Each structure stands twice: as C-alpha cells, then as structure tokens.
Amino acid sequence: MLRLASYLIVRSFTSIAILVFSLYFICNAHPAQAVDSEGIKSEDFTFADAHGAKHSLKDYFGKFVVINLWATWCGPCVKEMPSLARLQIDYKDKGLAVLAISEDHAISDAIDFYNSHAISAFEPLTDTDHHIMQLIGAQGIPTSVLVDKNGKIVKILEGDINWQSPEITQAMNEWLK
C-alpha cells in the first residue's frame, strides 16, 4: 500500500512538472528571434474586435503595423504589454498601428486585463481560433509580426521585446520614413 501511494505521489509531481515546463516553454520558447515569412500574405491575417466584428490587415493598408500575439496568462506577454503600449503612443502620429491580438479563449480576458492595467493605447483584439499563430508557424507567444505600409511582412519575431530599446527605436525610425 505504501508503495502505491509513493508511486501516485511521484507520478503527480512528475505530471505537474511537465505541465509547468510546457507552459514555460510556450511563453519563452524563442527569445526575440526571426521566423521565416516567405509566402505569407497580409490579407490572410484576420481577427476580431471586442464587439465580434471581423477585421483584416487590409484595413491598415498605408500604415506600418506591429501585430503582437499575446495572452493574459503568459508572463513575458504581460511584461511586454506596457512597452508595446508606449510604442503605440510614441509612433501613432508617424503612421504606426499596434494590433495587440489576444490568444486567450475569450476576449473578456483581454478586456479585463486592459481595464486592470489601464491600457488604452489600442483596442482589445482577439484570434481565439489561433489562425494567425498557425499561419506564421509561431512556436509560442509573445510573437510580433512587423508589416510595412504596403502590407508586406518585414519581420516576424518570437519572444518578448523591449520596444523602447535603441535597436527597435532605430528600426522604427527607418521603417516609418
């Protein structure tokens, strides 16, 4: 009987360890690395707003767009969100649109997060069927897709980013010329 109890305890702890490792890996799999975007078309990017209305990346033609795939349960995503909001504020008048697209199961999670963290730089958007993640082959979140004013994908980055870093600032100034 003692052997069975020990086995069950070890088995439970092993299962929990695997779950924790899996969640960590999903959120932290690849710190800010580029992903191949060959053959992906910007018109394939579709998502919904908080009211359920469908949108497409085509709606943002003429703007430089940063699409950020994130979730409220992802630590690196939550850490990155204030920097992403600051990016939108700093570059909005220069033609930038930040689309923070939640991968949560319900848009209400993102809305609650925005309200509790006083985020108002952009509206809550959702991709509850994970279409964009599948489209770009993202291995985890956060993942950011940079799209130029003509709808061409410039770069796909996985991992959390300091959007106010000198490298990003220099790149943004170049892309927004």
CB atoms within 10 A of CB 112: 14
**pLDDT tens-digit profile, the chain (177 residues):** 556 555 555 565 554 544 443 444 344 443 333 344 455 666 678 899 999 999 988 899 899 999 999 999 999 999 999 999 999 999 999 999 999 999 999 999 999 999 999 999 999 999 988 999 998 889 899 999 999 988 888 889 999 999 999 999 999 999 888
Structural domains in the chain, CATH included, are 30-175 (3.40.30.10)
CB atoms within 10 A of CB 143: 27
| Distance (Å, whole) CA 132 – CA 8 | 40
Q: Provide the angle, in degrees to the nearest 10, between the axes of the packed helices 2-28 and 75-91.
A: 10
Query: In which region does residue 150 sit, left (phi positive, over 0), alpha (psi from -120 to 50) or beta (all else)?
Result: alpha
* Prediction pTM value: 0.77
CA distances from 117 to 113, 123, 144, 156, 161 (A): 6, 13, 21, 26, 19
- pLDDT at residue 6, rounded to an integer: 55
DSSP letters spanning 103-142? -SS-HHHHHHHHHHTT--SS--EE-TT-HHHHHHT--SSS
Residue with tokens 């909005």: 92
